């Protein structure tokens, strides 16, 4: 199912660090880090693994953890990236954050805080729990509520898709038949077919709108 596909981006750095000097503290350097890729207000989920060398537990994560429906859908609230362990160790924000490979790291962009889930603890339940917590720091909407709503929409989508397929086959079959009865039935089926396709289109828009999450940082002051 396309909705459950996770779009990973491979990067060698997610942040940049440096020294900044404030007006009243001339000559005093303070370390500063920020996201360097243009990701806006989204939290980041980093999957650390050297796929070329092979990661112990890689198959389980790929085939079980990341295929969990709640995890896969919840990823829509994050920027999802894969990083080599060596690159993660050099990143200003990610260095010294966890040791095992593979591991998951979730970054809250509002405070540049990192939540680490080490290899043995990377399970669907633990990952989803961490995702909800980090997303809760960033968005006004509750991630779990959004995910559950999407799951319900997927069920509705499957039902409509099956109905559309049946009606499409009926249109093709009736199109080859003659007589007033067949013509009348064909007109009725075409009308129903059009209605179902319209419902599918509306459902697709509803699903897309569901993931237009609102960053807390952009909340208007009262």
pLDDT for residue 22:
35
CA distance 212 to 41: 12
The predicted structure's pLDDT at residue 219: 46
| Main-chain dihedrals φ then ψ at residue 16, nearest 5 degrees | -130, 145
* Residue 25, pLDDT score: 39
Round the average pLDDT of the chain to a whole number and report it: 88
Would you say how long the chain is, in residues?
222
Class of domain 2-17+31-138: alpha beta
**CA 103 to CA 85: how far, in whole Å?**
9
Report percent pLDDT > 70 for the chain: 87
Domain ranges within the chain, ordered by starting residue: 2-17+31-138, 144-218
pLDDT digits (tens, 9 = 90+) for 133-148: 999 999 999 999 999 9
Q: pLDDT tens digits, residue range 108-139? A: 998 889 999 999 999 999 999 999 999 999 99
The four Cα atoms 24, 28, 31, 32 give a dihedral, to 10 degrees, of 30
pLDDT digits (tens, 9 = 90+) for 29-64: 334 567 776 656 799 999 999 877 777 778 889 999
Distance CA 43, CA 81 (A): 11
Closest CA to 202 of 190, 210, 192: 210
pLDDT of residue 58: 80
Contact (CB, 8 A) for 36 and 16 = yes
pLDDT over 90, % of the chain: 73
Tabulate helix, strand, coil % of the chain (nearest 5): 50, 15, 30
DSSP output for 56-115: TTHHHIIIIITTSHHHHHHGGGSEEEEE-HHHHHHSTTTTTS--SSSEEEEEETTTTEEE
| 191 CB burial (10 A radius; 0-12, 13-18, 19+) | exposed
Angle between helices 180-210 and 143-174 (to 10 degrees): 160
pLDDT per position as a tens digit, 59-94:
889 999 999 999 999 999 999 999 999 999 999 999
User: What pLDDT sits at residue 37?
Assistant: 64
pLDDT tens digits along 3-18: 889 999 999 999 886 5
User: What pLDDT is attached to residue 32?
Assistant: 55
């Amino acid at each position: 199912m396309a909705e459950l596909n996770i779009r990973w981006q491979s990067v060698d750095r997610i942040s940049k660090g440096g020294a900044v000097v404030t007006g009243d503290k001339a000559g005093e350097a303070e370390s500063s880090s920020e996201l360097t890729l243009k990701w806006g207000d989204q939290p980041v989920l980093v999957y650390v693994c050297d796929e070329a060398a092979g990661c112990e537990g890689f198959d389980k994560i790929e085939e079980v953890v990341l295929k969990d429906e709640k995890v896969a859908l919840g990823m829509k609230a994050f920027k999802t990236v894969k990083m080599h362990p060596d690159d993660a160790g050099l990143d200003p924000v990610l260095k010294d954050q966890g040791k095992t490979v593979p591991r998951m790291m979730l970054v809250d962009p509002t405070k540049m805080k990192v939540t680490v889930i080490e290899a043995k603890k990377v399970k669907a339940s633990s990952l989803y729990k961490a995702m909800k917590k980090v997303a809760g720091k960033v968005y006004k909407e509750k991630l779990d509520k959004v995910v559950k709503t999407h799951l319900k929409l997927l069920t509705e989508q499957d039902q409509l898709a099956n109905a559309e397929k049946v009606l499409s086959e009926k249109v093709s079959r009736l199109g080859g038949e003659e007589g007033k009865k067949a013509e009348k039935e064909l007109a009725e089926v075409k009308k129903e077919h059009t209605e179902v396709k319209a419902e599918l289109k509306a459902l697709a828009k509803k699903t897309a709108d569901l993931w237009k999450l609102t960053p807390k940082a952009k909340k208007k002051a009262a």
